[in-house]
Amino acid sequence: MGKAPAWCKIRLCLLCLALLMQPSMANAQFHTSGDDPASVKWSQMQVGAFNLIYPRQQESLAYHYAAKIQAEMPKPLSGLNAALPRRPIPVLLHAYSADANAMVAWPPRRMEFFTSPSASLSSSLDWARTLVWHEGRHVAQYQRSTEGIFRALHFLIGEQSEGLAALYYISPGFYEGDAVFAESVYSHEGRGRQAEFLLPYRAYFADSIDFSYDKWQFGSYRHYIPNEYALGYFKQSAGYALNAAKLDYPYEANAKVYDHLSRGLFQYRKAYTKAYGMYMRQMWAAGKDFYEDYWREDSSQLFDQATRYQSLIEEKDYNDYRSSVLLDDGKMILHKATLGKSPRMILFDPSTQTSRTLFYTGRVNSPLRANQEYVYWTENISHPRWQHQSYSVLCAYPLADTSRVNARYKYLTTRSLFFHPSPSPDGRFLALVEADISAKTRLLILRLSDMTVMHSFNMPAYDVLKESVWSDDDKLYFSVLNEEGLRLDVLDLISGTISSCLPPQARTFRHLSYHDGYLYFDADFDATTQIYRYQLKNDTLEKLTQARFSASQAKPGQEALYFLDYDAKGNIPASMPWTDLRPTLSDGSYQNFLVDDLLAQQPVVMDTTAQETCEISQPKPDHKLTHLLHFHSWAPLYYDKDQLTSFDLSHYYETVAPGLSLFTQN
């Protein structure tokens, strides 16, 4: 038999290629957050019990996170009496995303940090330290989950045992609430210390609005229900406070939960009862009573009677007005994103109480700012292929189009990492925050006529520039975050010099605006978020509002101060005449008595940067092929994980069968 002709071989190759390209459903074996660009080369370094994997040529970023892991990781581990991992845990640094986030997953065991210093996050905490505290607590939780019967099970099914223990024992609210409490204890500005973190609960309880326990637990498509982070912290912080006298320090309660869980499979209710004196469902009712009394003591003062624009309230739905700009003609452009509806910009006329939708938006990540011609903001745009690559682009909407129906806005940039645009008073320039993949930021000043960069000012290493605002005397004020807190600096545009205006603060201030010699911002210097103004001439700080729950995003007008006023229905635009405001001097100090009382009883020193004894190895290349076969789990039988997780047992004989299963995932 002779050789097949060449055309036959070509047809056979094309047929095989067509079959390989046939579309089909393919699921990952276990949870994956996505992919980085394929062109990225990787390096690694050993940091004690953690293997740091990062994009090559980003050694400065890697050493920054290595130092944080070295100094801070023992704290969240010791809080649960968890030992350091016996086998190194991979820590992946994703540097190409505009989204600031992090996760811990089992299996395969790993930590993933999205290192972008997002200017949209409302915190005065250093981002790297926050990640180590919060995600380190999750590592401690997984470490404790492997005790008892699940330690023996690890030899039978591998890392699946940790994931199975996490699903069997603990709810997401327990995990996240414990991690939020940890970050609040180890710092002066964790989420548990922020006034807005539990704000929806406070507003609902004050108005005697209650839902079923299942609705508080699982959420709603009609009412805004806080997520598992707030729910878990709500229960556990109240449980700590109510049982403080029974513990050496309340901080050890969750360690005791794991002590009891490790003794058997059916210890769930008993574990919480031993640690807190009640189980999780009872903790909700006890927490509700505790916080109602706690907040009632803070609400014993008179509140401002602001004019709230009732025509903007959708009575049957939660109202989320996230940002606003005040136009020269007295009208307002508002960014609105209600539950179940796409975010959109609306034009509102306070004089006639009428509004209409202008256009729909994407994922807006900065407040609206405007000059005489345009409204500016930034949006997150995802890469069409790589889930771990995204951008923050500059957007603009011409005010001349407000009279048009179905008007559109435009993107002024494409593959950028821009945040918080701030137009100059004369409309010629635009100040922007620019981030890079090294987690460093700089202040850009663009000429709007041709989008040319006129000035660029680099921030010191890992000082994160947050937002900026122009004054009318050739100065630009901007907030900067570092390990010491959030400070206010000023740039003299004539001399090009930068000087300090306000020293680092442990509290958060944001939404800067300027009017007639004052800087306006909102801050949670007391038990609620209120609007303050800082007089630049004599360095005095005044509190302007005393809203019932929260007042934010001040927009000074000629006759009144406009802002967003919060209640159980959400953020609603409101205003107060200047003559009705009651400015009071403030020193900006605030103490969260609940967290600080618990903090005084816990043994870990907070906000320290002292180095622990932990070796950091020299960087070396990390090749993907070396992880191609990473067997993390196994089982002495065959089973189809995808069919089990989708509860598809129509072909049960194909779902579970005698055999051997091996799982590998890079």
pLDDT digit string, tens, across residues 557-566: 999 999 999 9
Average pLDDT over residues 5-15: 62
Residue 482 is assigned to a structural domain of this protein: no
Annotate 111-131 with three-state secondary structure.
EEEECCCCCCCCCCCCHHHHH
612: DSSP letter: P
- Taking each helix axis from N to C terminus, what angle separates 172-185 and 127-145, rounded to the nearest 10 degrees? 130
- pLDDT-based confidence at residue 23 (cuts at 50, 70, 90): very low
Residue 225 is assigned to a structural domain of this protein: no
566: DSSP letter: E
Residue 5 has pLDDT above 90, yes or no: no
640: DSSP letter: -
CA dihedral angle for residue 216, residue 220, residue 225, residue 229, rounded to 10 degrees: 80
Residue 272 has pLDDT above 50, yes or no: yes
Give residue for tokens 């605002």.
Answer: 469
Q: What is the pLDDT of residues 35-76, one digit of tens each?
A: 999 999 999 999 999 999 999 999 999 999 999 999 999 989
Predicted pLDDT of residue 604: 47
Domains: count for the chain:
2
Residue 402 has pLDDT above 60, yes or no: yes
- Cβ 237 vs Cβ 181: under 8 Å: yes
Number of Cβ within 10 Å of residue 286's Cβ equals 18
Q: What is the pLDDT of residues 468-497, one digit of tens each?
A: 999 998 899 999 998 888 999 999 999 999
- Torsions phi, psi of 506, nearest 5? -80, -10
Q: In the chain, what are the helix, strand and coil shares in percent, each to the nearest 5?
A: 30, 30, 40
d(CA 238, CA 284): 9
- pLDDT-based confidence at residue 87 (cuts at 50, 70, 90): confident
Residue 243, Ramachandran bin (φ over 0: left; ψ between -120 and 50: alpha; else beta): alpha
- pLDDT-based confidence at residue 320 (cuts at 50, 70, 90): confident
Task: Tell whether omega for the bond before 108 is within 30 degrees of 0, i.e. cis.
Answer: yes
Between 290 and 655, the more confident residue is 290
Predicted pLDDT of residue 432: 96
Q: What is each CA distance from 145 to 74, 138, 140, 229, 544, in whole angstroms? A: 18, 10, 9, 20, 49
Residue 442 is assigned to a structural domain of this protein: no
* Residue 200, both tokens: 């929806």
Residue 412 is assigned to a structural domain of this protein: no
* Residue 246, both tokens: 């029974």
Residue 338 is assigned to a structural domain of this protein: no
Burial of 478 (0-12, 13-18, 19+ CB in 10 A): buried
Q: What is the pLDDT of residues 528-557, one digit of tens each?
A: 899 999 999 888 999 999 999 999 999 999
Predicted pLDDT of residue 15: 55
Residue 47 is assigned to a structural domain of this protein: yes
Burial of 389 (0-12, 13-18, 19+ CB in 10 A): buried
From the list 230, 227, 210, the residue with the least C-alpha distance to 219 is: 227
Predicted pLDDT of residue 608: 46
Residue 340 is assigned to a structural domain of this protein: no
Residue 54 is assigned to a structural domain of this protein: yes
Average pLDDT over residues 514-521: 96
Predicted pLDDT of residue 26: 41
- pLDDT-based confidence at residue 275 (cuts at 50, 70, 90): confident
Predicted pLDDT of residue 430: 98
- Cβ 611 vs Cβ 69: under 8 Å: no
d(CA 507, CA 324): 24
Where in the sequence is the domain holding 646, given as residue range(s)? 630-666
Last residue of a domain, one of 109, 144, 169: 169
d(CA 326, CA 348): 10
Q: Which of 16-25, 32-41, 122-131, 427-436 has the largest mean confidence? A: 427-436
- pLDDT-based confidence at residue 661 (cuts at 50, 70, 90): confident
Predicted pLDDT of residue 86: 84
Q: Which of 293-307, 308-322, 412-426, 587-601 has the lowest mean pLDDT?
A: 587-601
Q: What is each CA distance from 35 to 21, 100, 303, 386, in whole angstroms? A: 20, 16, 50, 5
Number of Cβ within 10 Å of residue 536's Cβ equals 17
Predicted pLDDT of residue 248: 58
- Cβ 52 vs Cβ 112: under 8 Å: no
- pLDDT-based confidence at residue 349 (cuts at 50, 70, 90): very high
Residue type, 499: S
Average pLDDT over residues 631-641: 79
Predicted pLDDT of residue 55: 96
* Residue 303, both tokens: 């509140």
From the list 483, 495, 503, 491, the residue with the least C-alpha distance to 442 is: 491
Last residue of a domain, one of 169, 200, 224: 169
Say how far residue 630 (Cα) sits from the centre of its chain: 31
Residues 6 or more apart in contact with residue 461 via CB below 8 angstroms: 60, 64, 440
- pLDDT-based confidence at residue 362 (cuts at 50, 70, 90): very high
Residue 304 has pLDDT above 80, yes or no: no
User: Coil, strand or helix: which one is 191?
Assistant: helix
Predicted pLDDT of residue 145: 83
* Residue 90, both tokens: 């991979």
How much is the pTM? 0.89
Q: What is the pLDDT of residues 54-64, one digit of tens each?
A: 999 999 999 99
Task: Write down the mean pLDDT value for the chain.
Answer: 85
Between 40 and 600, the more confident residue is 40
d(CA 485, CA 463): 10
- pLDDT-based confidence at residue 383 (cuts at 50, 70, 90): very high
Last residue of a domain, one of 169, 198, 229: 169
Q: What is the CATH number of the domain that holds 68?
A: 3.40.30
